[in-house]
Chain A
Amino acid sequence: MREQLPALIVVVPLLAALLSLFVSYISKILARWVAIAALLVAHLSAIGALVLVLREGAPWHYHFGAWEPPWGIEYVIDPLGGAMAVLISFVSLFVAIYSGGFSREFNWLKTGGYYTLFLLLTTGLLGMVVTGDVFNLYVFLEISSLAGYALIAFGGNRGTVAAFRYLLVGTIGASFYLLGIGYLYAITGSLNMVDLAELLPPLMTSPVFLMTVVMFIVGFGIKMAMFPLHGWQPDAYSYAHPAAAPLIAGVMGKVPAYAAIRYFFFIFAPTSLVVSKALTVMGWLAALGIIIGSIMAIAQKDFRRMLAYSSVAQIGYIVVGMAIGNMYGLIGAILHIVNHAFMKSTLFLVAGGVKWRTGENNIEKYAALCGKMPLTMAAFAVCALSMVGIPPTAGFFSKWYLILGAIEADLWIYIVVIVLSSLLNAIYFFRVIENIYMKERIEVREIRTSKPLELPLNMLVPIVVLGLGILVLGIFNESIVTQILQYAIPGGGF
Chain B
Amino acid sequence: MIENFLSSSFIYWLIAILLLLGIFGILECNNLMKKLMAMNVMQVAVIIFFLVLAQKSHATLPVMFNGDVNIDNYVNPLPHALMLTAIVVSLSTTGVALALLMRIQKRYEAIEEDDVLRRMNK
Binding site secondary structure of chain B: helix
Q: Which of B32, B46, B92, B104 contacts A178 (CB 8 A)?
A: B46
Task: State the CA gap A158–B104 with chains docked (Å).
Answer: 9
Partner of B39, one of A146, A160, A168: A168
Q: Which of A164, A178, A186 gathers most chain B CB within 10 Å?
A: A164
| Interface set, chain A 130-150, CB cutoff 8 A to B | 135, 138-139, 142, 146, 149-150
Contact B23 A172 (CB under 8 A): yes
Please tell me if the beta carbons of A150 and B96 are within 8 angstroms of each other in the complex: yes
Q: What is the bound-complex CA distance between A49 and B107, given in angstroms?
A: 47
Mark interface residues in B102-122 (1 if CB within 8 Å of A CB, else 0): 011001100000001100100
Interface residue? B36 (CB, 8 A): yes
Contact assessment for B96 and A149 in the assembled complex, using a CB-CB cutoff below 8 Å: yes
- A490 at the B interface (CB under 8 A): no
A178 to B39, CA, bound (A): 14
Q: CB distance B93 to A139 under 8 Å? A: no
CB distance from B54 to the nearest CB of A (A): 10
A297 to B36, CA, bound (A): 31
B10 interface residue (CB < 8 Å to A): no
The distance from the CB of A178 to the nearest CB of chain B, in whole angstroms, is: 5
Residues of A with C-beta under 8 A to B101: 164
Instruction: Name the prevailing secondary structure of the A interface residues.
Output: helix
Residue A322 lies at the interface, judged by CB distance under 8 Å to chain B:
no
B residues 49-102 near A (Cβ < 8 Å) are 49-50, 53, 79, 82, 85-86, 89, 92-93, 96-97, 100-101
CA A48 to CA B49, docked complex, whole Å:
41
A167 touches B93 (CB 8 A): yes
The residues in A between 102 and 159 inclusive whose CB is less than 8 angstroms from any CB of B are: 135, 138-139, 142, 146, 149-150, 153, 157-158
Complex contact B43–A171 (CB within 8 A) = yes
Q: Are A167 and B96 in contact (CB under 8 A)?
A: yes
The chain A residue sitting closest to B92, CB to CB, is A146
Of B46, B82, B108, B117, which is within 8 A of A179 by CB?
B46
User: Does A163 make an interface contact (CB < 8 A)?
Assistant: yes
Number of A-B contacts (CB under 8 A): 70
**Quick check: A182 and B53 within 8 Å, CB to CB?**
yes
Q: Is A464 close to B, CB under 8 A?
A: no
Interchain CB contact under 8 A, A158 and B39: no
B116 touches A142 (CB 8 A): no
**Is A214 an interface residue when CB atoms closer than 8 A count as contact?**
no
The yes or no answer to A161 lying at the interface (CB within 8 A) is yes
Could you tell me if B53 and A164 are in contact, using CB atoms closer than 8 angstroms? no
Of residues 163 through 190 on chain A, the ones whose CB sits less than 8 Å from some CB of chain B are: 163-164, 167-168, 171-172, 174-175, 178-179, 182, 185-186
Contact present for A182 and B50 (CB under 8 Å): yes
Contact (A179, B89) CB under 8 Å given A161-B120, A163-B100: no
Check if B89 sits within 8 Å of A139, measured CB to CB: yes
Q: By the criterion CB–CB under 8 Å, are B93 and A142 in contact?
A: yes
Evaluate contact between B107 and A160: CB separation under 8 angstroms.
yes
Chain A residues whose C-beta falls within 8 Å of the C-beta of B117 in the assembled complex: 161
Residues of chain B in range 25-53 having any CB-CB distance to chain A below 8 Å: 26, 32, 35-36, 39, 42-43, 46, 49-50, 53
Closest to A186 in B: B53
Q: How far is the CB of A437 from chain B (nearest CB, A)?
A: 33
Is B46 within 8 A of A149, CB to CB? no
Max chain A Cβ within 10 angstroms of own Cβ: one of B79, B100, B103, B117: B100
- On whether the beta carbons of A160 and B36 are closer than 8 Å, the reply is no
Report Cα–Cα, A168/B26, bound state, in Å: 7
Least CB separation from A169: chain B residue: B26
Q: List 10 A-B contacts (CB under 8 A).
A: A135-B82, A138-B86, A146-B96, A150-B96, A157-B107, A164-B97, A168-B36, A171-B43, A175-B42, A178-B46
Interface residues, chain B, CB within 8 Å of chain A?
A: 19, 23, 26, 32, 35-36, 39, 42-43, 46, 49-50, 53, 79, 82, 85-86, 89, 92-93, 96-97, 100-101, 103-104, 107-108, 116-117, 120
- Closest 10 pairs between A and B when the two form their complex, measured CB to CB: A164-B100, A142-B89, A160-B103, A157-B107, A175-B46, A178-B46, A167-B97, A168-B26, A186-B53, A171-B39
- Besides A142-B93, A153-B103, 4 other A-B contacts (C-beta < 8 A): A157-B107, A167-B97, A175-B19, A175-B43
